[in-house]
Amino acid sequence: MKQIFFLIVILPLSVFSQTSIVQDKSGETSLNFSNNKTVLFNSGDASIGAGFSFSNVTPKKNNGLETFWGWAVKLKSNDGISTLLDGYDFMPRFTLGVFKGRAMKSSSKSSSNSIYYGTDIGNSVFNLLSQQTLNKLEKTSFFNWRIKLGFNRLGAWGKSTTLFGISSEFGSYNNLDDLTAVERYKSSIDNSSTPSTIVVSNKKSGFSGDYKEGNMLKINMDYLVFPTCLKGRVGLGGYFRGGLGGDFSRQNLGVGCFLGKEGAPDKIVLGLVYQINDVFNQLKEEPSFQKRTGISITAGYSF
């Protein structure tokens, strides 16, 4: 029922949607190229998200260089779609952003550069397991803000297309993605049958761990190559996410491949990402390198 509700709410909004062609497991990117009208689901960290935006593009007079502005909305449910609704509580994580940018004059016919800047605000509502009693889930909310500045370049390597993006963000973060997803049930024993049955009810989802909030500077970089084979529809590349600041310092690396539509390679329909979290184990949360890695599947539909 909740899945149906989610689809009914999300799909009509997707007419105005935009998501970048490359996302990491948290749905972040430095690429702001495509204006895809897309609804997209990211399986990273067992979460499901969707992004929507609308942008308006006008050329600067007589030189063909466009300026653009737009807005974007991201919705994400914690630990899968089942926690989007918790009883009668609607508990999404959402971000609302505005951005503005412009193309820059390029000396090459093969390349196109642009810069953009913007700001995001957002809110997360989630259940946090009390560290004192360990049996109570407390409803917690987190308001966040960010400012960002980015540069994108459409280029060429031989006859292949390359996309490069770099962006810097500063703002407030929490470590919700680092916490352990937990579920709490009420249980009782039904002795009327043999063997006895344990009845669990009143399921609640939340997070457990050392929850922190703070400010951080982030550097995001993405690089993609679209070889000429397969009609240029397959993009191969990687990304870097660097966080600098107190409790949140870490570096994530990822490689992935993305399949785009015929005639519109930047409208992705499927992406597969292999990500290494906290490459240098700065958080000291998981000593095993292998356990800090994961695979994320991104599926989208472009209109």
Partner 1 sequence: MEKTTYKVKLEGKSQLHEPNVKLEGIQINLWSTDGGETWINDNVIVNVSGQLQVGMSCKAISGTAWEFAVTNKTSGKAVLEEEGQTGSSGIPNYSEIFKSVNP
Measuring CA to CA, which residue among 243, 257, 261 is closest to residue 295? 257
Residue count of the chain: 303
Taking residues 216 to 235 in sequence order and writing x for each that binds partner 1 by CB under 8 A, - otherwise, the string is ----------x-x--xxx--
Residue 34 binds partner 1, judged by CB under 8 A = yes
Interface residue with partner 1 among 50, 72, 103, 216 (CB under 8 A) is 103
Instruction: Tell me which residues in 126-165 interact with partner 1 (CB under 8 A).
Output: 154-156, 158-161, 163
When the beta carbons of 262 and 286 are compared against partner 1, the nearer one is: 262
Q: How far is the CB of 52 from partner 1 (least distance, A)?
A: 12
Q: Are 60 and 102 in contact (CB under 8 A)?
A: yes
Residue 110 binds partner 1, judged by CB under 8 A = yes
**Interface with partner 1: number of residues (CB under 8 A):** 45
CB burial of residue 134 (10 Å; 0-12, 13-18, 19+): exposed
Q: How far is the CB of 152 from partner 1 (least distance, A)?
A: 10
Residue 61 binds partner 1, judged by CB under 8 A = yes
Cis peptide bond N-terminal to 195, omega within 30 = yes
Q: What is the DSSP letter of 231?
A: G
3-state secondary structure of 55: strand
When the beta carbons of 4 and 229 are compared against partner 1, the nearer one is: 229
User: Would you state the torsion angle of the CA atoms of residues 131, 277, 120, 209, taken in this order, to the nearest 10 degrees?
Assistant: 0
Cis peptide bond N-terminal to 265, omega within 30 = no
Residue 33 binds partner 1, judged by CB under 8 A = yes
Residues at the site binding partner 1, with contacts judged by CB under 8 A: 18, 33-36, 54-59, 61-62, 64-66, 68, 70, 103, 106, 109-112, 114, 154-156, 158-161, 163, 226, 228, 231-233, 261-267
